Amino acid sequence: MKAMPTKVKRHSGWDPLIEDEWTRICYERSRSLTAAYYAKPTDADVQVFRGQVVVNEVTAPFLYSKFTPTRMRIRRGTYPKLDAVVDDLLRDGKYISDRMKVLKLLLWCRDIPFRKRTTKYYHAGGPEELIAWQGGSMCNEMNRVFMVMCQIAGFASRYVGHYSAVRPDRKLTTYAGHGVAEVFVEGSWAYFDIRGRHFEWPDGTLASLWDLIRNPDLYVHQPETVRILRDPRHNNWNPGQRLVMWPHLQVIANYDAAVRRKCTYTPVIQTPARARKLREASRKITAEARKKLRKVLKEGYTPPARTPWD
C-alpha cells in the first residue's frame, strides 16, 4: 500500500471523519456491536476495520489506484485445506476465464453455512479454515474465507464493509450491515457479495463498489445470468439498493499477509448463554443509539433528498 494522503487519512481508521451526524451515530452503533461480538479487540474481524477507509468522493481516487496491491498471492501451505479446495475448483483453470474462477470460489464460500458442522454450536471468529468447516454463517467471517481463497488463486482481494443503519422513521427501525469483497479481476476491482451476488454493467463489465454507490440502480437491473447465482436459501436476506445509499456507510479495508500477521483468531463457541448475553448487549447499544438519534431529530435534522426508503 502506498502512503496514504492526509486528506484520505482523515476518513480512515476506527474513528474516521463522518460529517453527517446521523450516519456517524449509526456507524458508532455498528462499531460497538462488532466489538461486542468478538472475544478480543485484536481479533481479525475487529482488527480489519482499524485500517478501513470510508468510501466517498475524497477517498475513491486513492482507493481505486494505490490503496491495495493488485498482485497478491498467499504462500502455499499456509492454508493446506483451502489450498486443496482451490486446486480442486480450478483444476480446469486453463480453460476458463478469470471471472469464472472467482465465481467458482464465491459459490463454494456461499454454501459454507449449509455444510454439515462437526460441532454442536457455531464458532464465532477463529481462523479461516475453522470457519469454512464449521458452517460459519456470519458474512464477514465467510468473506475472510473468500478473500483468502482468492489470494491463494492469485487474485488480489480486499474487504468491503456496509455498516448498519437506522431508518429515520418514528420507530427508528434498525437494519443489519453486511460484509462483502472486491477482487481485482479483468483489470479492475469488482464487487462480489458472499451471498452469491455480483453486478455487471449493460456491456458485461464487472461493477465495483464505487460503481454501485454512484449507480445504485445497478442492483436491480441485472441479467438472468447474474441473478441465477443468487442462492434462494439467502432470499430472506435481500438488501436491495439500500446498502450503497444513505444512511449506510461503506468502507474498504485491506486483508493481506501484512494485516493478518497483526491479528489474533480467537474462536468463541456460540452457546445459548452467550447468545443471550449478546442480545442484551445489542439491545443496550441500540437503545443508546436511538436516544442520540431522537435528539438529532428534535434538533431539526433533515435527511438527504434521496434515501433507500423513498
pLDDT tens string 99-144:
999 999 999 999 988 876 666 666 678 899 989 988 778 889 999 9
β-strand 249-254 against 197-198: which pairing, if any? unpaired
Taking the C-alpha atoms of residue 175 and residue 30, their distance in angstroms, rounded to an integer, is: 10
Please state the length of the chain: 310
User: 3-state class of 68 per DSSP?
Assistant: coil
pLDDT of residue 66: 92
Q: What is the pLDDT of residues 185-226, one digit of tens each?
A: 999 999 999 988 899 999 999 999 999 999 988 888 888 888
With residue 157 as reference, give the H or E element that holds it: strand 157-163
| Neighbouring C-beta atoms of residue 236, cutoff 10 Å | 6
Q: What is the pLDDT of residues 246-267, one digit of tens each?
A: 668 899 999 998 888 889 998 8
Share of the chain above pLDDT 90, in %: 52
Q: What is the pLDDT of residues 255-302, one digit of tens each?
A: 998 888 889 998 888 788 888 999 999 999 999 999 999 999 899 887
| pLDDT of residue 9 exceeding 80 | yes
Taking the C-alpha atoms of residue 197 and residue 28, their distance in angstroms, rounded to an integer, is: 27
At residue 2 the predicted structure's pLDDT band, cuts being 50, 70 and 90, is low
At residue 237 the predicted structure's pLDDT band, cuts being 50, 70 and 90, is very low
Taking the C-alpha atoms of residue 30 and residue 104, their distance in angstroms, rounded to an integer, is: 31
pLDDT of residue 290: 94
Q: What is the mean pLDDT of the chain?
A: 87
C-alpha cell of residue 105: 470460489
β-strand 178-185 against 123-124: which pairing, if any? unpaired
Q: What is the pLDDT of residues 30-45, one digit of tens each?
A: 999 988 888 888 999 9
Q: Which residue carries 462499531 as its cell?
A: 31
At residue 236 the predicted structure's pLDDT band, cuts being 50, 70 and 90, is very low
